[in-house]
Structure formats: C-alpha cells, structure tokens
C-alpha cells in the first residue's frame, strides 16, 4: 500500500468528497457513486428511479431505498433541490440556484429555464405570519400538433 487514503475515497475526486462532507455526510461508496453521476457534468434532473438505473448500469450495486435516502440527504445538505411538477414523480435538480423550469408534458422531462431574466411582478405580500420561502415557476409545454 502506497497511500494512506481511506479505501472508500480511493480514486475519487477530493472535490466530491469535500462536497459530501460539507453537507454533513460521510463519503460512503454509494454516496460517492451517486455524487459522481450527479455532479460530474453540468446541471441534471433525475428521479430516484432514473438515477438508480444509471448507477446500476455503471456497475454500482445499491438499493433504490438508498438512492431515495441519498437524494433526500443531499437535498437536506443543499446539494440538490427538489422539484415537483407532475404528482407522479419527484425530480431532483443539481442546480440549486434560483431558477425556473420548462416541463415537457409528453416526455415527462424537466429543463432549466436558461438565464435569470425571468421576473415576476405584482405578487401580493405574504399573508401575515408567513414568509415566502420560494417562488416557483413552471412553464408547461406540449408538443405542437
């Protein structure tokens, strides 16, 4: 053995490990594998099922329950954002910034709305005793006949 790096972290980007640690989580094999899939490329939108399939195909064996757990833990740690558009499935978005979504109804596909140009005017104040946590805009698209 030439290195003192922990086994689980071997061959993984320190970035990813730091990211997971920053979320208050241990960098386990499963979390590293899912984190790699999620954060390697640009912004992504996944469901628990799609990510589980992807991980399985990539050779990581883990249960769907773990994927659900991990997605929620990542969300809790600010690494992901949950987006709800169709009541069937819950989507998780690696873009945690303030932004909005296109939703392709036919394909059940979610896409970030590029740019931060979207502006909403004329919103009434939050009712007494409450405060606005977030404003979500979903633009529902259907394919043109």
Contacts with a second copy, residue ranges (CB under 8 A) = 84-87, 90, 102, 104-105, 111, 113-115, 117-124, 126-127, 129-144
Taking CB under 7 A as the binding criterion, the range among 18-26, 38-46, 110-118, 137-145 that sits at the site for DNA is 18-26
Taking CB under 7 A as the binding criterion, the range among 20-28, 110-118, 121-129, 131-139 that sits at the site for DNA is 20-28
> To the nearest whole angstrom, how small is the minimum distance from the Cβ of residue 136 to DNA?
16
> To the nearest whole angstrom, how small is the minimum distance from the Cβ of residue 58 to a second copy?
27
Of 14, 42, 87, 129, which one interacts with DNA (CB under 7 A)? 87
Rounded to whole angstroms, the Cα distance separating 38 from 79 reads 10
In terms of Cα–Cα distance, which of 10, 5, 9 is closest to 20? 9
Site for DNA in 94-133 (CB under 7 A): none
Rounded to whole angstroms, the Cα distance separating 93 from 95 reads 5
Rounded to whole angstroms, the Cα distance separating 67 from 10 reads 21
The yes or no reply on residue 37 touching DNA (CB under 7 A) is no
Query: What residues have CB less than 8 Å from 57, skipping those under 6 apart?
Result: none
In terms of Cα–Cα distance, which of 88, 84, 87, 15 is closest to 45? 84
Rounded to whole angstroms, the Cα distance separating 39 from 107 reads 23
The yes or no reply on residue 36 touching DNA (CB under 7 A) is no
Of 9 and 138, the one with the shorter C-beta distance to a second copy is: 138
Of 6 and 130, the one with the shorter C-beta distance to DNA is: 6
């Amino acid at each position: 053995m030439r290195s003192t790096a922990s086994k689980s972290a071997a061959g993984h980007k320190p970035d990813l490990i730091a990211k997971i640690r920053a979320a208050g989580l241990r960098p386990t094999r499963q979390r590293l594998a899912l984190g790699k899939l999620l954060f390697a490329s640009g912004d992504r939108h996944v469901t628990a099922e799609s990510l589980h399939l992807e991980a399985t195909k990539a050779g990581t064996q883990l249960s769907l329950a773990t994927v659900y757990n991990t997605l929620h833990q990542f969300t809790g740690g600010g690494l992901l954002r949950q987006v709800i558009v169709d009541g069937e499935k819950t989507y998780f978005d690696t873009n945690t910034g303030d932004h909005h979504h296109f939703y392709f109804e036919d394909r059940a596909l979610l896409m970030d709305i590029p740019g931060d140009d979207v502006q909403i005017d004329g919103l009434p104040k939050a009712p007494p005793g409450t405060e606005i946590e977030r404003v979500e805009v979903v633009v529902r698209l259907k394919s043109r006949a």
